[in-house]
Structure 1
């Protein structure tokens, strides 16, 4: 039996309905963990109107994405599932996504992921191979090996949100697992509410410095705090391993500059960034 897990928090109901309708024909059941949504009753009503294959659980509060993902994986494992397809609430699976991902599942593969197509930024897959190693797949669309999830130790709930998937991917690599991206399988996804800034921004692409139009993430000040805090924490905790594996995460300096140049509410974001820097040290020292 195949299963999909979705985490919800104040979802846009139309987007969530499209998500449900896309994945329901592909799996035996859909598990939803709600992180204390204000529109929880509407989510329940929507699920009931669509299918009895949708099962919803909640504790009535937001304990973070990592906590929700662990609950979904644990629930699937209790039902003797070997894998779970994890989706964000605003993602939309392509046709036959599950069956096309499961073909590449083996015991030493932690995650089989699709290529991500953000609804605001076009992606060209014409020159990509059918399958390639993906060191740091994002959570949404990831077909997650539950035996591997258990061996890796689950998602780190200290992070709450942001870089939860990256931190998990790093530990998967440290445990000897690999992950693949299947470029013929496309997941429509929205990362924040990306919009062009109108300003050019230098970046490194294939070893060359190129000038590309920048984008605002559309993330809240709340998210800015967790993005910077967790980036600092992960780089500090796994720095030597990342260097040995030649994995480059975004530098904190680049993230801060990009945030301050392209995103509004700069004063609030500066405060969030300063708090994130301070709290990242506390987080690392505690663990």
Structure 2
């Protein structure tokens, strides 16, 4: 594999951070190939995957890719922080986060940079991110715009929309972080382990008067959940009972955070309960009930 190092463009050096945990190796390779010509460095942070040696063989000898393998699953937040710290320590201006199953198209990174340069002229911008498309079910994900009380508006970009839109939250995959904001805002909250990590960080940025922007004409193919359950006009993502444990537990943790609107956290707690009932009814897997009880018990014990 031949990888070119991107020259410093418009004063910007960019490091990509890819988080892996038992990934489809081919998808990770496709992701690396799709971003390698626009990144100065790529950090792959692996949380103790079973077949990570296959990825090691692929990147062996490539100078601008660093693979960091954790001996245990540290959680997505801790792995993201490892990558972010490496990016900052190496003098990068931006850190671009990716999940293992995302696939950007050519020009993705330069498009985000153009969007960032446009919105950061008069505002302190912590991060920008792309429009998200799930090719499995042929739909675009919605984005949240919250007021100070936590009342929410769902926003879905129009296909031909080009102007950046300020939103309250973006998901981590495809998130282009301005490294200069990290000294004030801080890193990802490792206590959350996996769920709501990106949501909490974005809302924390907003509490420090930083702005978060969606760049609607830049699209990232991304999969949320192992599958989806269609219920009327809604799509309920299906995660494992183990993953749902963190979703439920962390909903309660959000209540204690001053920068998270109370209406948002209460809504997440209620909807997590509803989602759990839907998953239990559709899968008949009693583990959803068991993990839900454990998550609520652990949440109250720590609260």
TM-score, normalization by structure 1: 0.86
Q: Where does structure 1 lack aligned partners over 5 or more consecutive residues?
A: 201-211
Question: 1:241: how far off?
Answer: 4.9
Matched, 1:30 2:42: yes
Question: 1:130: how far off?
Answer: 2.3
Distance 1:239 1:80, change over 3 A: closer
Matched, 1:113 2:129: yes
Distance of 1:83 and 1:214 partners within structure 2: 33
Give the match's secondary structure for 2:36.
helix
Equivalences for 1:164-183 in 2 at 5 Å?
Answer: 164-183=197-216
Distance of 2:199 and 2:72 partners within structure 1: 24
Equivalences for 1:130-209 in 2 at 5 Å?
Answer: 130-197=163-230, 199-200=231-232
Matched, 1:274 2:285: no
Count of residues in Structure 1 that have an aligned counterpart in Structure 2: 267
CA contact (8 A) 1:110 1:144 kept: yes
Give the match's secondary structure for 1:86.
strand
Question: 1:249: how far off?
Answer: 7.0
Question: Over aligned residues, Cα RMSD in angstroms?
Answer: 2.1
Question: 1:131: how far off?
Answer: 0.8
Give the match's secondary structure for 1:25.
coil
Give the match's secondary structure for 2:299.
helix
Alignment deviations for residues 37-81 of structure 1 (CA, whole Å, 9 cap, x no partner): 1111112112238x4422111232111111011111111111111
Which has the higher mean CA deviation after the structures are superposed, 94-103 or 219-228? Answer: 94-103
Distance of 2:162 and 2:108 partners within structure 1: 17
Give the match's secondary structure for 1:115.
strand
Alignment deviations for residues 179-218 of structure 1 (CA, whole Å, 9 cap, x no partner): 1000010011111222344x43xxxxxxxxxxx1544x23
Distance of 1:71 and 1:256 partners within structure 2: 32
Distance 1:241 1:13, change over 3 A: closer
> What's the counterpart of residue 70 of structure 2?
59
Distance of 1:6 and 1:88 partners within structure 2: 6
Matched, 1:237 2:256: yes
Distance of 1:257 and 1:241 partners within structure 2: 21
Distance of 1:249 and 1:183 partners within structure 2: 29
Q: Where does structure 2 lack aligned partners over 5 or more consecutive residues?
A: 1-12, 141-156
